[in-house]
Structure formats: structure tokens, C-alpha cells
Copies of this chain bind each other. A is one copy, B any other.
């Protein structure tokens, strides 16, 4: 049976190491970057080079009743790409061509294995901009970005991956090739299958091509930083920015723990003694409007009681200031094991979330550091613990769950941009309720009745016997 499947996969692919079965090699494809999510041993890893090869692999697996776990670069943070025992992992990394870049229609057509930054670079050569910018943009692939509807630092002004998807091509569980969407700016022909696939974490189809909208490249941003001696004041400042009608191209928040970790990591004194929070804002408005926006932001921060503000139009200085934020997770990881959350709350509740996280940390006898995208309310509290101490691990898990509960109680969501994956399936019903969960299962059954694609992601895995027959 297994031998027959491997033969079929070998025939489906084009040789050149496209079928990997050596456990020493397949292990590298068994999980993403979230240590908390479970993963199994794949039977094999396939690296198809075309949609036709993906179709042939899917048909072979469907015939053998062997599940397929699709995967990009494996930079996810929810285990969405984690293998289940005996599955075939399908990595799209070899399908990495930018097939078209059309400046007159401001769009690109790409294969799923294109690295995010590579599209940005190719677009910039035409004066164009592909905004979505997850932290892993130097290595993550657009296929993974699409599967998770990835965000980044740009979202408050520019939206998320899904906002840039005009159309998709995807292989369905029966091996057929689905085309969704369009090449035009607008289009409402039929149900929005494009958006149904985006963020579905490979559970409904395997994306093999995407038509993505681009924007004109904005101006090089100017930067403002503001330090506060309380989280509440920093939170109130976010409200004032919103109330002032400002839309920063970036607005990040860091709490005291994160600030001190980044300071130590970079070996610089980022903050003053009593600073409890830092806001970091940018404006990429055109021409004179940029300086006016930066001035306005700085004024708002001062009025909100900032103990320190600094504005610069110098790009290098802006990048340096942003570095404290960009290194924050690495800086925290240098201190010990980390569980990084991805909750989002209404922008008015940011201070309550951060203060609640600090309290949750204290209750657990652990530290919770918070950084986040203040412009859109998407916060990344990180529970710090000693990985060698099982008691601490258990308390960290409890704190992790308490943060999810806190976010929901503040009118928020369990995931702002990382997804549900194989980590938060149990929380999905708590957020969405039983009716929405039933609809999810109905859609999954409609598109993948045998549960072939990425079992256990988004929705809890059901015993084989309870799956609906095709």
C-alpha cells in the first residue's frame, strides 16, 4: 500500500529529489516555528514543480486515503503546517516563479513558493508596493501568507494579505483545479471563493497560483517615538491618534519588559529608568503632508503625557529606532523559552490587555512581555518560562490560555494574524460559537469530504470513521 503510494508520487513528480522519504530529511518538514503545537512523522515529503504535479500528488494520496499537509517555508506560529503521522507533506517551495508583473494594471501573478520579500523587491523595481509584511518576510512564502491571511506591521493603514488577492488557482481534494476571482480591480461574479481559501490554512485546497494587487510605492516614512511612564497613558495615546483622524503607516507598542529585553539585546539604552511603554509611529504620507503628520503625532503624544518624544525624517535613524521592535522576540528568546500569543483587541482596549497580561504573568509567577501592532490592536504577549522546568511549562500554558480568555472578554479575537493552526482549535468555538463552528464543518465537508487536507488544522481532527464518505 505504502509502496504503491510512493510509486504513484514518484511518477507524479519530476525526479530531482522531489520525493523525500529519508526520515532524517523529512523531519525538517514536520513542523513550523510554534513549539507548542503537536506534530507527527510524515511518510514522505513531496516538492512538486507545477500545479499539474500537485494535482497528481493529491490524486495519488486521495486514492490511498493518506492525508496531505501543505506547507510553505515553515515560518508559521500555530503549527498549521505541522505533519500528522503517516501523512504526505506537500511543500510548495519549488514553485517559486513570479509569472507576471503588470505595472499598467498594478498586479502580479505568482506561484506559492515565491518569498514575500522577493515580490516586494520585484514590485519596487516598477515603483510598486506589495504591502503585507509579516516579520518573517525574508523567508516566508506567499503561499503560506495566503493560507494564513498573514498580516504584519503595515496593516493599520494597508490591510492584510487577503486585501491584496484578486484571484487564486488551487487544487481541490478530488485533484481538480479551481480558479477563483479575477484580474480586474472589482468583480462580484459568484461567491467569494478567493476569500474562502485565504486563511483556510490548507484545509480546503492547495493554492498553486495567485493574482495579487499592488499599490504605488509610498514615500520613505518618517518616524516618531514616544515614551510613557504608564501603559494606560500609551493606550490613551493610541485612542487620541485615532480620534485625531490620523492613520500612521506603522504604530507599534512595546511594554517595559520588551523594552528592557531589546535594550539588553542591542546593548543600547533605549529607554529611561521609569519608562513603562514606548510607541513607535511612522508616516509615509506624500510630500509636506508627511512632516505635518509626524508633527501632529508628536503633539498628540506630548498632550497625552509622553515623558519623551523624538521625530525624524531620516530613514536610517527611523530604521534604527524600529530595530528595537523588530528584535523584540529574539531579545526575549535570548532570555529563555517563549510562548508567543497573537490576540487582537479593539484599539481602545490595548492598555487593558497589556495590564491584564502583566497581572496574568504575576499570578503565574512568570513574566509576560507584550509587543504589538497598536495601529490595529493586534498584540503579541509572550510568556517567558524556563523550558527545563515542567512546572513552569504548565503554568506558562495556563497563562497562555488566560491571555486568550482575556482577549475574548475584551471583545477581541484569539488570533489577529497567525491563525488557528493545530494550537487553538478548541478556542475557535469559544470565539465563534456552535453555529459558526457547524458552518465551518459543513464547508470543510463540502470541499474535502474525506478530510484529506491538513487534518486537525482549524478544526479538531475527527476520528476517521466519522468523516463523511465522498
State the A residues within 8 Å of B (CB): 102-106, 127, 148-149, 151, 155-156, 160, 162-163, 172, 176-180, 182-193, 195-196, 198-200, 204, 215-217, 239, 242-243, 245-247, 285-289, 292, 344-348, 373, 375-378, 411-420, 424, 428, 431-433, 435-436, 439-440, 442-443, 445-447, 458
Contacts and interface: CB of A to CB of B under 8 A. Distances in A.
Contacts of A443: 191, 196, 443, 446
A445 B243 CA distance: 45
A376 B104 CA distance: 12
Given A103-B242, A185-B378, A190-B436, 9 more contacts: A106-B242, A184-B345, A185-B347, A186-B417, A188-B417, A188-B418, A189-B432, A216-B245, A286-B289
Copies in the complex: 2
A347 B446 contact: no
B447 A184 contact: no
The 6 nearest A-B residue pairs measured at CB: A195-B195, A185-B376, A216-B245, A446-B446, A187-B413, A442-B446
Contacts of A199: 188, 191-192
A415 B189 contact: yes
A127 to B, nearest CB: 6
A378 B435 contact: no
A458 B190 CA distance: 6
Given A439-B447, A445-B446, A183 B432 contact: no
Contacts of A156: 185
Given A127-B245, A247-B216, A155 B191 contact: no
A187 B242 contact: no
Contacts of A242: 103-106
A246 B439 CA distance: 42
B155 A186 contact: yes
Contact of A420 (B184, B189, B446): B189
Nearest to A442: B446
